[in-house]
Structure 1
Amino acid sequence: MSLPTPDCDLPRYSPSAPVPDYSFEPTCGERILERTPRSVRPTPESTFVKSVGKTTVVLHNQEENAAIPTYGRTATISGSVLFDSDDRTCEVVLKIRGKLETTSSEGGAKTTTLVDNKHILWSDHQKNEQCPSQICFSVRLPSTFRDGGEDRALPPSYLVELLNAPVLFVRSGYSLQILITRRRSQKVNFLNKTKRVVIPFEYLPRTRPNRPIVTPLCFFSGVKSTPEEWHQTITPMKTPASAKLGSIFTQVRAWLL
């Protein structure tokens, strides 16, 4: 069975014009309604140093003269461990630990594990060589913890004592631990000695947006300000016909965590 031949041929098509080059700067006849810069906070450039005996831990990206290290939401903990290397060192481990402790007159004491991450920085089982005198590391903090089968936001460092309330004591704390394991004897492998360097740190996630909402003056109602920080919804409201009012809109803005 053959198909019928059309009475006329299809029109000829010419190639489309190329897409104009994009530029973030306005061209002739254009203007910027609103510009939202990236909300990037400056990263501190100082270091935090703690020495215990012949072992030194250096943490980067800290404020100058900080008493203890401070990290924000999903921050990267980077630094290095320096110590006198010898052929008896068999393992170097980094642990990040966090716990929430509550004590109340009704429920008693309770401890919840927030973070318990272990990272092996060096091991003679992985590398058949002598441990170096400097080991660098870089690990990221989690943003949530598991509680009752649900993921919840990691709470900030906190300490409060409420003597006149049912909850008497609440504390959430975090620490960085460096564990250096050395053999006591080259002939007996199970006689090991572990040295521990503990560094408490503050976990302070941002609790407010970087910038407030900019009230639009001459912009369109559909233009969304600071889109990377705020969720904006505009909904029309129902009004009775007898009110003889124009269109009424409600605008809801919520900060994006």
Structure 2
Amino acid sequence: MSTLCPPSYSPSSASPSYSAVLRPEEVCLTRTARAHHHRATRVLVLDHESKSCPFSAAFLHQHDECEVPTYGRGDAVDGYIALHNTTGVVSVAVKLIGQTQLSTGSGGKHTFPFLQYNFELWHQETAESAAPDHLDFVLPLPTHIDDNGVERLLPSSSRTMFSGPYAIVEYAFKITVSTRGLGGVFKKSHSLSTPITYVHRSHPPQASLGRDESFLSTLKVAPEEWMLLETTVPQASSTSTSPLSCTVALPASRIFTMPQPIPFHIQLTGSPDVLRQFLPSSGAAHVVRSSSTLDHDDRIHRSGLSSLRPRSLSPPTRSPSSSSHRIQHSHTLSAPSTPYTHLHTLPAFQPTASQTSSPFSSPLASPGLLSPDSLHSASSSRSSSPLPLPEDDVDAMLQVGLHRRVTLSVFGDRAWMVKKLAPEATLELTQCEPDAGWLAWSGTIVPSSDSWSPASRIGGLNINDYISLEVLRAKRGRMSRGVQPHSYAIPVKLVTDPFPDSTVVTSLDEHELSGLGLVF
């Protein structure tokens, strides 16, 4: 039987060479994100003031700036327990606790435990030998928890205070060692506990727009990078002019990194007479600086989870090569209080039909209208503290801010608080065509990262962040012609980390566009 030979093939060409370095005729359109993982090596040591406590503990892989054990998404609480005397030890157990404490200030208080892990590291009855000198523990933190049948992300540690009302999300780690007492009959328990901090770390799904990139320079080459939202500014019933139409342009994802600046663009269209109220008497372009300064609250509030003050002792005998630091904390959780401006009965967002039908690229709530009281309290009315005006007076002005709304629900009582997350927003009048029926401003919001934690929702606590746009009457003692106060809220998400590699989307000049075959 004859054997068929396979057909002959011509030699294949060599594979092309690849390089991360661009040639002169090449343009980088996008870059693959590469996360950089840095394993912290600091050790936090926890021990007791009393010499009678038979053990101490160490928490591994902590960063230099941490005063208490701190963890992020997907981390594990890991460390070891050093037993100073193993004689008579019956059991060693650890417990991880997570809970919220809520109060509306009217008597309703609620403690909601949403996380509780109990784990026995060693027990005399199940052990084949005496208790060891050291016991390791590793407790992975879940990424999601069950909230009355609803799956939610594990909330970040936070502390919100305002006079009487407060909202606290806190975690604690407790170690209990049981020993035999007198005669070996009675048990005696020794416990150490410490607050721990959890921060849900995340980053935007794409690189942010460059700080120096204007709206128009990027809109042509990357229109998908912007989201356009519209709202109508109501007019007085006595005026016959058509309402003002306001268009707000924000980065499409509405996900921003603290404290990186947030660019925005605003355009007003309407009657020339109404638009001129937003211009100084000279008609020249000017810069309007917002009055949204941060208020500070230095009140001290107690936490429900207690902890023991550690003593200045040497670390446990098994000391890793990394540096160690003794945990310094008080008997109450020492998270800083956050300055919240006011408290109100809860109003609901009321988006119009056109607003609710707008397409959004992220699973955030739809923008909606806000009552004027949604951003300012009666105790700090605008009449007693007028907004700063430009050198040439104007009748009406825009104000853009970044706010956090904390909603509390305790036994049927509901309240909410608002905090300003941006100390100042600047609007620059970039295009002035009132006779043509439109004006345009550009600007940036620079958030403050002080005492900040990611927004979360658990039990009766709901924390939301949003950008607010307000149309205000800037003249005192004179009613602006037709312009009515108007507030508009755009929900956003604030995250902890920048896009990996800190890649920034930049615009391309005409030469680069011609090389890509793009024509505008």
TM range (shorter): 0.5 to 0.7
Give 2:478's aligned residue.
none
Give the distance between the partners of 2:97 and 2:10, measured in 1 at CA.
60
Structure richer in helix, relative to its length: 2
Give the distance between the partners of 1:163 and 1:51, measured in 2 at CA.
35
Give the distance between the partners of 1:149 and 1:48, measured in 2 at CA.
36
1:254, distance to aligned residue in structure 2 (A)? 6.4
Is this contact kept in 2: 1:49–1:59, CA < 8 A? yes
Is this contact kept in 1: 2:155–2:169, CA < 8 A? yes
Is this contact kept in 2: 1:145–1:153, CA < 8 A? yes
SS class of match (1:40)? coil
Count of equivalent residues:
215
Q: Which runs of 5+ in 1 are unaligned?
A: 1-11, 223-231, 235-250
Is this contact kept in 1: 2:105–2:166, CA < 8 A? no
1:183, distance to aligned residue in structure 2 (A)? 1.6
**1:200 corresponds to which letter in structure 2?**
P
Q: Residues 24, 210 of structure 1: CA spacing in aligned structure 2 closer, same or farther, 3 A cutoff?
A: farther
Q: Which runs of 5+ in 2 are unaligned?
A: 1-5, 211-216, 227-250, 256-361, 363-494, 496-520
SS class of match (2:47)? strand
Percent pairwise identity: 20
Q: TM-score, normalised by structure 2?
A: 0.35
Deviates more, 1:89-98 or 1:63-72: 63-72
Give 2:42's aligned residue.
46
Does 1:180 pair with 2:177? yes
Is this contact kept in 2: 1:88–1:186, CA < 8 A? no
SS class of match (1:196)? strand
Give the distance between the partners of 1:207 and 1:37, measured in 2 at CA.
14
Is this contact kept in 1: 2:54–2:190, CA < 8 A? no
Give 2:208's aligned residue.
213
Give the distance between the partners of 1:16 and 1:193, measured in 2 at CA.
84
Give the distance between the partners of 1:141 and 1:37, measured in 2 at CA.
25
Give the distance between the partners of 2:85 and 2:11, measured in 1 at CA.
67
Q: How does 1:1-257 map to 2 (within 5 A)?
A: 25=19, 33=28, 34-52=30-48, 53-64=53-64, 66-105=66-105, 108-163=108-163, 168-185=165-182, 187-188=184-185, 191-206=186-201, 208-209=203-204, 212-213=207-208, 252-253=252-253
Deviates more, 1:130-139 or 1:79-88: 79-88
Q: Residues 213, 119 of structure 1: CA spacing in aligned structure 2 closer, same or farther, 3 A cutoff?
A: same
Q: TM-score, normalised by structure 1?
A: 0.67
Q: Which has the higher contact order (CA 8 A, sep 6+)?
A: 2
Give the distance between the partners of 1:111 and 1:212, measured in 2 at CA.
39
1:207, distance to aligned residue in structure 2 (A)? 5.5
Give the superposed CA RMSD: 3.9
Deviates more, 1:100-109 or 1:197-206: 100-109
Give 1:7's aligned residue.
none
Give 1:240's aligned residue.
none
1:140, distance to aligned residue in structure 2 (A)? 1.0
**1:44 corresponds to which letter in structure 2?**
A
Give the distance between the partners of 1:81 and 1:158, measured in 2 at CA.
28
Is this contact kept in 2: 1:89–1:131, CA < 8 A? yes
SS class of match (1:81)? strand
